[in-house]
Structures are given as structure tokens and as C-alpha cells.
Amino acid sequence: MNQEQRVMEWIENHQDEIIHFLQQLIQIPSVNPWFFEEPAPSKEKDLQHFLAGKLEGLGANIEMWEPVADELKQYEGMAGYYPGRDFTGRPNLAATFGKGTEGKSLLLFGHIDVVMAGSKWTVDPFEGKVIDGKMYGRGTVDMKGGVAAMIMAVEAILRSGFKLKGPVVVGTVVDEEAGGMGALDFIHHGYRADACILTEPTSLTIAPLCRGILWGKIKIQGRSGHIEMPQADWQDGGAVDAIKKARYILEHLDRLNEQWAVNKTHPYLAIPCQVHVAQLNAGEYPTSFANEAEIVFNAQYLPSERDEKLVGGNVKKELTDFLREVAESDPWLREHMPEIEWLVDADCAETDVSHPFVQTCVQSLKAIGEEGKIEGLGFHTDMGWPVNVGIPTVNFGPGDPSLAHHSDEFTPLDEVIQAVKMIAKMIVDWCEIEEA
């Protein structure tokens, strides 16, 4: 029996152990404190300490530290930097296997924070209940299934009696669900590798890119007035309905989206970038024309559109210029120029599919019986900072990403096992192993 067969046999024989480990991760509710209305102690620390114990037991060198926002000021205006964010009791964790060994290194990377459970669950969101081969729970998809798989892949190698020729770093970070400052801090801390697998859910496809995401709020001014009374021209003091002006902008947004549907596509993305309207907020009373209106939107952008700070500044300018042009075509809006308040700029990144690491991932996936499909992610992941410092990175993990953040979030357990096998195969193929 060769090296690879021994490792795969270990995984086959320890499926219950792998599933139990994932359950243990789900049972620690590491909800990002950003989601609490009242400040509350974060359980992120509890989960990181649990993982540190597991990884140290496997022989890793452990480093755990709390990010400090003031030490990251040099990244102002770049992805993941939020001045003054408090990380007390919210540590990052790095576990290094094979430190000092020569050979190609691999970073296995993931976030351990989850969004709050929310309502309408039919099972306990923090139990990890298994029904019909699926594990239910907050974080099973995003992304504790992937974190469990990458750690159990390392365990499979070591428990099969091998040691690494090239080092493996397991990095688990906080704060992805509120902007990615944990990942920025991890890279700032100096961790590097020859390649990185970010174990976000991809339904077991290889995703060498993710899109950037902009959240913004268009603020439109009107002038209130009695809705049931005749109104003078606005230039003579009459009312102006902010909702009507918002509709005018929305019609132009539809036309912009038609252009984007043609111009903002990528061969590995199923849908083009669009400006999706997520919320409309307007009006005060049923008897008054709306004094103001807000259009809250989500706009996506491609890695090729990043600005000099590697974020969405170019697309922000494009949307600001678009809004100004629309406003110039309306007499009221020209004199009461709408403004965009930017809420979020979540970065993106891409690794060329021809890179040997991406191709090794594809071959490793095919070797365990999967299709080896390459497909980009339409949403943001933490891959930006590894790519920014020259680490070729792919997203790969178990679970359907469309189920992330849902009530009754679940991951098929056979995908978790397959993910363990694929990552273990990547360690064999990329880092190489030898008898311990």
C-alpha cells in the first residue's frame, strides 16, 4: 500500500471522528460580536483555544495573539482595516507543522466566526444534529465544515505514520463576517507560504477567484408637502416627491445593469456584476410627499477592476460619476445632488488557473473521484490578502455557499469527508510526505 492509499484508508476508517470534530466546532457558538446589539463576550476565543489544544496535540508549534487595530494603521483605505476595532478576547491562531523543513509549504486558512443564528430554525443551531447524512447548524457551511476538513486532513497524514517534507500552516482567524480584519492581521503578522487553500464552501469545486462587494446608500432629497393638496412648481416652493426622484434613478440603474451584464463578466463566474437594490427607505407620513429617500445597493466588482489600494475605488468612482450624470438630466436633482454613502468595500482576488498550484488542486480533486471543476465565487472571501502578498490561493471546501447564513444551514457529510481527502491529497502532492 502506497503513501496515498494509507492516508485515504485512515480517513475512511475515521469518518465518525471527523464528523464528531465538526460537531464540536458547531457546539461552540463563535458568533462575531458585531451581530450583537449589546456588547457581549465573544466565543471566538473559546473556539480558538479548543483548536489550539487539538493542533498542539498533533505536534504543531502554536502562536495565538489578539489583533491590535492601532498596529495596522498603515493599511488605512485598504481591505480589512477598521480603525479602533476591539479584538480583546478575539485571538487569531497559527499552528505550524514541519517548521524548518524544506520543501513547498502550504497555508490552510479559514475563519472561525459565524453570523448570529437568527430565527426560524427547526433544530438547535448550535447542536450539530445529523439528519439523513447532513449536519445542521450555524457555521456548518460558513465555514466550520471547511475548517474541520483542513485540520482533519493534517491529522490523517500524521496519524498514518508520515511526516511532512514541506511545512503546513493551519491559520484560523476571527472577524471575516464583519470585514476581514483578522485575515489582514494574520498576513501582517508575517505568515507566508508557497500556496494557500482557503476552505470556504464551494460545493467541492476549485474557486481561484472571488468578486469584490460594495455596499452603498444613495441619499435623495425631496421637499415635503401635503400629499392631498395642489402643489406649485418646485421652483416656486412646491413639494418634490423624493420617491418619484428615486424611481427616476432606479430606471437609470436598470439601464446601467444592462451595460454591466455585457461588460462585467468573467469566464469562471455564472452571473455578471450588477448593482442590486437591497433596500428602499423613504417617507414619513401617509399625508406627506417624501422629504427624502434612500436606495441601499450591493454592487459587485471583478479583480481586474481593483484600484491602486487593491479595493473598489475605480468602481466607486464609476458609480459616483453615473449618479452625477443622471442627476444632471433632472432639474431638481441637478440643484439637489444625490450623494452616495459607502458602507462596505469587501475586496476580491484571483489566481491564474494555469498556475501549477491550481492545476495540482484540480488533479488532486479528480484523483478522489470528483469532477475537478473550476468555478469562481460571486461573494467575498478572505483570499485577498494572501494573494496581495504573492501567495497563490484557491477557495475550496464542503457545503453549498448559497446555504450560508440561512436558517437550518446544513452540509452533506459526504462532502466533508471528500474535502478531507482532497486536502490530504494536496498535502501529499504539494508538500510531499515521508515515513515518520
Active site residue ranges: 113, 176
User: How, if at all, do strands 106-111 and 196-198 pair?
Assistant: parallel
Backbone φ and ψ of 430, nearest 5°: -90, -55
**What is the maximum span of the chain, computed from C-alpha positions, in angstroms?**
89
Beta partners for residue 301, in sequence order: 212
The grid coordinates listed for 310 are: 487593491
Do 405 and 201 touch, CB atoms closer than 8 A?
no
Do 408 and 123 touch, CB atoms closer than 8 A?
yes
Q: Could you give the angle at which helices 413-426 and 3-13 cross, rounded to 10 degrees?
A: 160
- Per DSSP, helices labelled H in 213-355 are 242-263, 313-328, 331-335
The grid coordinates listed for 32 are: 462575531
Do 413 and 419 touch, CB atoms closer than 8 A?
no
The grid coordinates listed for 364 are: 488532486
